[in-house]
Amino acid sequence: MSANYKPVIWNRSKQVYDAILLAGVIGYILIYTRLGPFLQPAIPPLDEQTLAMQAFGSCAFILLTLVLSIGPLARLDPRFLPLLYNRRHFGVLTCAVAAAHGAKVLGWYFAFSSIPPTLAVLAADTSYGQLHGFPFIPFGIAAFVILLVLAATSHDFWLAFLTPPVWKALHMTVYLAYALIILHVALGYLQATANPIFAIVVTLSCGSLVGLHLAAGLRERTRDFARPDPAAQAPWVVVATVDAIAEGRAIVVSLNDAERVAIFRHAGRLSAVTNLCAHQNGPLGEGRIVDGCITCPWHGYQYRFEDGCAPAPYKERLATYRLLLDGRRVLLDPHPNPPGTSVEPIPITESAG
């Protein structure tokens, strides 16, 4: 968290994360340019510029596939959550690699064009009336423009300026960029080569990505339909037993209107807040209590256990909920309080816990 906007708030976690990403990209480019001639023999042999173009292009595609896989992986297995915390760094690096691919293309194929390279690349092929040979470059350009916009607006300043719903909707266009890249590759490189290796990579990447999202979606749908027991007298609903909530952790309850509530246990008490982090709608119920505060697992935003308010000087607030104990059963009032409303946490008695 930061009370002021800074370009990057560096810490050891971010440094290690980015160092591993950079090492991976550099290693991939070096290996591809060294092994490429052996994996795709051609007559005449592939030149260094073409190998570099292919290396940066394929690397950008693989990086974007990994970026889009992190979300569902973290839903399916919490061990992937550390990859999610700095995913925006991952996305910015993907954009940079895609830019390197474009620069290599312009610098090699259109370096001696009589018109500016950026115009020449669009005029290079106009075979729009046939499937085989259909222009693939516009799809790549459109995908890169989307990645560039997302990278430029990845900072929290834009999140606050645009508001979380608008910012989130904007960044969901990354899936459109991925689809455009698939078209760019399918109509371009895959039609121009007889080598099946990259076609297999593209097919496996797309299949894995779709499978992960379907699996994560089915799991979330199952959780949404796990409604509370309405056996208790209105307005209270039974949501869990005390021993189902681990110390310092939470359970997530889905209400009838699809709203999710996170019920945390800390220091012998229970408290309930909305499951949506005020920063970027992160899943608070997948986080934990740190220094007495509810801590979002995505970016570490914190909120007081008692009232859902971020500690000073931060101003974010969460909607809170009332709880009640009936023996070992935890009852929830499904009607949220206004954000930042103080609700005294309920103590866990010996008979309850």
Tens digits of residue pLDDT in 129-158: 666 667 888 899 999 999 999 999 988 788
Query: Tokens at residue 287, please?
Result: 């986080």
Distance CA 119, CA 305 (A): 57
Over the chain, what is the mean pLDDT?
A: 84
Query: Tokens at residue 288, please?
Result: 């934990």
CB 262 within 8 A of CB 252: yes
Distance CA 272, CA 241 (A): 14
Residue 114: pLDDT band (50, 70, 90) is low
Give kind and range of the element (H or E) at residue 302: strand 302-304
User: CA of 280: how far to CAs of 57, 125, 158, 175, 292, in Å?
Assistant: 30, 42, 12, 18, 21
DSSP 245: S
User: CA of 100: how far to CAs of 19, 79, 104, in Å?
Assistant: 19, 32, 6
- Per DSSP, the three-state class of 131 is coil
Q: What's the pLDDT score for residue 289?
A: 92
CB 40 within 8 A of CB 195: yes
CA-nearest of 94, 68, 95, 97 to 83 is 68
- CA atoms in the 13 A half-sphere facing the CB of 258: 2
Largest separation between any pair of C-alpha atoms in the chain: 85
- CA atoms in the 13 A half-sphere facing the CB of 55: 23
pTM for this structure? Answer: 0.73
Query: Tokens at residue 18, please?
Result: 């980015």
Distance CA 272, CA 307 (A): 9
Residue 194: pLDDT band (50, 70, 90) is low
Distance CA 75, CA 344 (A): 31
Query: Tokens at residue 307, please?
Result: 């009232």
Q: Is 71 exposed, middle or buried (0-12, 13-18, 19+ CB in 10 A)?
A: middle
Place of tokens 């994360």: 17
Mean pLDDT of 335-349: 91
Least confident of 2-16, 46-60, 204-218, 316-330: 2-16
Tens digits of residue pLDDT in 197-239: 788 888 999 999 999 999 988 887 776 665 555 544 457 888 8
Instruction: Count other Cβ atoms within 10 Å, centred on residue 124.
Output: 12
Tens digits of residue pLDDT in 40-95: 666 566 778 888 988 999 999 999 999 999 989 988 887 887 888 778 889 999 99
Distance CA 338, CA 318 (A): 8
**Cβ partners under 8 Å of residue 21, min gap 6:** 89, 90, 93
DSSP E strand stretches across 218-259: 237-241, 250-254
